[in-house]
Amino acid sequence: MDPSEFQSPKDFVAGLSRAEAKALLQKWREENGRNSELIREIWRCPKLALASNLGDEKWLVLEQVCLAATDLHDKTLVKECLALLQAQFPKSSRVRRLRLMANLELNERYEEALTEYNSMIAADESNSLLYKRKIAILVAAKQTTDAIKHLVDYLKKFLNDHEAWIQLAGLYIREQEYVRAAFCLEELILTSPHNHLYHEKYAEVQYTIGTPDSLELSRSYFAQAARLKPSSVRALYGLLLASNALAALPKTAPAKKKECQRLSAWAADALAKIYRSAVVDDEKHLESLEGALASLQVS
């Protein structure tokens, strides 16, 4: 089932069996997906009664629910989760981290939280989660320059953390440092060459840079993203725009311009087919869309 098909988290959870709910929670933990409202609703659902039916998995789920409650500023649920976790693991650094998030970060007591995290890092320098909490605080406090510095230092220690590379690219984009953002995305593409999302994001950054060379890269990576996921509207629309922009440059060779026109027309046709299947009962809307796509093509 897709949660987006339901009007509310409660409606979605009502249709879940206990086994399905447990499988979803495990999937979200493995993928680092927060899905905070759904997690809270699953935990609260009387029909599922997860609190008494989890076995050894209870503590992992409690930690997951505590994080969701923190995201939602549900202080009552946070307090309930922390009380159970603290009783079971009185000396756990993970529980201490959750407590700092709930008691200090949630109340925007950032300086105190940073002091505590520095103390914990000094005792356990290999704990990546502690570094990431520091970075999260700096981002929340809008100290972007410091957050970038700490992320760069963090990636020197934990080079294979994809989430950190994505976050660093996002911060560079926020600061309009597009060349550095592109470097971060290149690292991600090298480690995950079949992830169409990385190709799309890299192509978007190169399109934003806007030089002839970067537009050529943009076109190539949008094309690769479309090969990896032919149904990606984002990749197809990006390919159309990048091809048009490259063809419109005065110094573009005739052969290259013709190739760009061909790609632009192909992307427009692919987009029209996708939208035709989505709005098959709305001919007026489809005609309007096809007209808009035609106007974007280079003649």
Mean pLDDT value across residues 240-266: 93
User: Does residue 150 fall inside a structural domain?
Assistant: no
CB 74 within 8 A of CB 40: yes
Strands (E), 111-185: none
From 9-18, 23-32, 80-89, 216-225, the region with the lowest mean pLDDT: 9-18
User: Does residue 135 fall inside a structural domain?
Assistant: no
User: Does residue 15 fall inside a structural domain?
Assistant: yes
User: Does residue 212 fall inside a structural domain?
Assistant: no
pLDDT for 206-216, tens place per residue?
999 999 999 99
pLDDT at 54: 85
Please tell me which residue, 6 or 281, carries the higher pLDDT value: 6
pLDDT for 40-75, tens place per residue?
999 999 888 888 888 888 999 999 999 999 999 999
pLDDT at 278: 72
User: Does residue 96 fall inside a structural domain?
Assistant: yes
CB contact set of 16 (below 8 Å; sequence gap of 6+) = 1, 24, 42, 45, 48
Number of domains in the chain: 1
User: Does residue 90 fall inside a structural domain?
Assistant: yes
Give the pLDDT band of residue 220 (cuts 50, 70, 90): very high
**DSSP type of residue 7:** S
pLDDT at 294: 52
Q: How far apart are CA 83 and CA 88, in angstroms?
A: 9
Q: How far apart are CA 75 and CA 237, in angstroms?
A: 43
pLDDT at 196: 96
User: Does residue 286 fall inside a structural domain?
Assistant: no
Mean pLDDT value across residues 143-156: 96
From its phi and psi, is residue 49 left (phi > 0), alpha (psi between -120 and 50) or beta?
left
Mean pLDDT value across residues 184-206: 97
% of the chain surpassing 70 pLDDT = 91
User: Does residue 14 fall inside a structural domain?
Assistant: yes
pLDDT at 146: 95
AA letter at 165: W
CB 146 within 8 A of CB 138: yes
Q: How far apart are CA 32 and CA 135, in angstroms?
A: 17
Mean pLDDT value across residues 166-174: 96
CB contact set of 241 (below 8 Å; sequence gap of 6+) = 207, 296
Mean pLDDT value across residues 252-258: 91
Calculate the average pLDDT of the chain: 89
% of the chain surpassing 90 pLDDT = 75
pLDDT at 299: 39
Domain that holds residue 26: 1-103
pLDDT at 290: 54
Give the pLDDT band of residue 115 (cuts 50, 70, 90): very high
pLDDT at 13: 87
**DSSP type of residue 56:** G
Mean pLDDT value across residues 167-180: 96
Q: How far apart are CA 26 and CA 47, in angstroms?
A: 19
Global pTM reads 0.81
Give the pLDDT band of residue 4 (cuts 50, 70, 90): low
How many C-beta neighbours within 10 Å does residue 223 have? 21
298 has pLDDT over 50: no
